[in-house]
Structure 1
Amino acid sequence: MATAVPAERDAVARAFTACTPVTAEGEDVRLPGATVRRLGGGYDLLAAGVGPALAAASTAAALTAAALAGTPYVLVVSTGIAGGFQPEAPVGSLVLADEITAADLGAETPDGFLPVTDLGFGTIAHTPPPALVREAATATGARTGTVLTVSTVTGTAERAAALRTRHPRALAEAMEGFGVAEAAAAHRTPLLELRAISNPVGPRDRAAWRIGEALTALTEAFGKLEPVLKSWSSHDQ
């Protein structure tokens, strides 16, 4: 599981204390370019850093180390808190990505925003395994839709409206999912993105943030998700 910051990683770890014979602290394993927290049951947690670039680099380091050790990961989960588009994703709710999209990877032109794919480069979206998304949504009660990855968090109503116009299925925005997905795709490893909503997408209002509530929701979600992760295998892709 790859989060941005240690507080998110620790919220996920708490979910596994009842599922594994280890404490939430686990064991920190230092790798070239990353440090993973290793729990029982075959779960590694990574505080990969904030933003798509650092998240991609840290995730790639962990994936490469596992592959070289002969124990490649069978699934990567990008997770943490996020902003939710209202009213579809209220604060405290859960969102599962059925598409992970880089929302601001491209060029601003006089005629509007052009995604990098329209410029003839790369990709802007990754699709998690549909069967896994369905099973995870059933287990957690999460809404499914597009989760946007942004390099700049939305802080105005105008930008929130512009993002929804370009991505009408968007439920949430965060800063790491696409970077984690790029690293996973390079290793041909399936990916899931699960987000707990801590604030509305739009005007920046710190008083409206509910980070503690979202972290609690994240812990509860992984408690419900653990049986799905345990039973899922590569033939479900």
Structure 2
Amino acid sequence: MTAAELLIAVAVPAEAEAVRAGLAPGAPVRVEPVGVGPAAAAAGTARLLVLAEAAGRAYRGVISAGIGGGFPDRAAIGTLVLASRSVAADLGAESPDGFRTLDELGFGQVARPADPELLRRLRTALPGATVGTVLTLSTVTGSAATLGALTTRYPDAAAEGMEGYGVAVAAHQAGLPFAELRAISNPVGPRDRDAWRIADALAALTAAATALS
């Protein structure tokens, strides 16, 4: 009997190519780009999960993987971050008393924890990875002010990306284990494209892919 596949959802084809390059031949893994941002990621992942289930080949779990920004002193460029939880950091409302999350407004949850067993296996396979909160943002952080606000609100934040929470919601609604992996391409904070090392992050993603099967 063929083993159920693990779905690895990435944002763009370059990330998919990086992950595929590191997978062992014949690994029961499917890697698919689902789009940039939480909405595209949620919709794209949900569609893949529904199609697989309808075809009688439901996935055994879902990993959101890709490059991302690392919070200073938590995750350096070229390193890996595993999410203990994926948080929709800008989902909420502004108020005279400051930002209020969706939870505080009573409309839902902004945090989705990683599946404990899937996270445990990834930590064992990737012992050098930092484990912490990974923030999902629709707008990449580009200023010291935003960095300060995020670190105040989420002092355990290790990385930021644009898709994790969306993928997590799709996996949760399908009843599947979820985890998130980020390879760090740049520091979170004032936007400086000269400091970005996308090739290094993609190489780290390829090296980590051996643990994703």
User: With structure 2 as the length reference, what TM-score do the two structures score?
Assistant: 0.94
- Residue type of the partner of 2:33? A
Write the deviation string for residues 53-74 of structure 1: whole angstroms up to 9, x where unpaired. 0010000000000111111111
Q: Which position in structure 2 is the counterpart of 1:15?
A: 22
What is the rounded CA distance, in whole Å, between the counterparts of 2:184 and 2:193 in structure 1? 14
What is the rounded CA distance, in whole Å, between the counterparts of 1:95 and 1:142 in structure 2? 5
* Deviation of 1:10 (Å): 0.4
The one of 2, 9, 18 aligned to 1:2: 9
- 5 Å-filtered alignment, 1:30-49, equals 40-49=26-35
Report the secondary structure of 2:181's partner residue. Answer: strand
What is the rounded CA distance, in whole Å, between the counterparts of 2:172 and 2:116 in structure 1? 16
- Residue type of the partner of 1:7? A
Q: Which position in structure 2 is the counterpart of 1:168?
A: 155
Report the secondary structure of 1:109's partner residue. Answer: coil
* Deviation of 1:128 (Å): 1.1
What is the rounded CA distance, in whole Å, between the counterparts of 1:67 and 1:145 in structure 2? 31
Matched, 1:126 2:112: yes
Matched, 1:86 2:72: yes
- Residue type of the partner of 2:194? A
What is the rounded CA distance, in whole Å, between the counterparts of 1:130 and 1:186 in structure 2? 17
Deviates more, 1:137-146 or 1:173-182: 137-146
* Deviation of 1:131 (Å): 3.0
* Deviation of 1:209 (Å): 0.1
Deviates more, 1:79-88 or 1:123-132: 123-132
Report the secondary structure of 2:82's partner residue. Answer: strand
Q: Which position in structure 2 is the counterpart of 1:190?
A: 177
Q: How much is the aligned-residue C-alpha RMSD, in angstroms?
A: 0.9
Write the deviation string for residues 17-63 of structure 1: whole angstroms up to 9, x where unpaired. xx21xxxxxxxxxxxxxxxxxxx432111101000000100000000
Q: Which position in structure 1 is the counterpart of 2:132?
A: 145
Q: Percent identity?
A: 55
Q: Which position in structure 1 is the counterpart of 2:142?
A: 155
Report if the CA contact (8 A) 2:118-2:178 is conserved.
no
Stretches of structure 1 that go unaligned for 5 or more consecutive residues are 21-39, 230-237
* Deviation of 1:134 (Å): 2.6
Q: Any runs of at least 4 consecutive aligned residues in structure 1 with deviations exceeding 6 A, and if so which?
A: none
* Deviation of 1:138 (Å): 2.6
Matched, 1:179 2:166: yes
Question: CA, structure 1 residues 126+46, in 2 after alignment: closer, same or farther (shift >3 Å)?
Answer: same
